[in-house]
Amino acid sequence: MLTAGSYVFLDTGAYQSVPNDKGVRDLNIGLTVLCHQKDCGWKHNGAEIVDVRIAC
């Protein structure tokens, strides 16, 4: 985990964000960036950037 200002960077499986030996990519893992002040964030799963929300 790394923080910079109001952002928190979480490794949520970024090392696994490349396709496996069968060419399949798990889109639920990757690098997640959260902005705790806005309760939102983004995840890059190796294929796209998706919005994420913090569930309370």
Distance CA 22, CA 18 (A): 11
Domain, as residue range, for 49? 2-53
How many domains, the chain? 1
* Residue 1, pLDDT score: 64
pTM above 0.85, yes or no: no
For the stretch 3-16, pLDDT in tens is 777 788 877 777 66
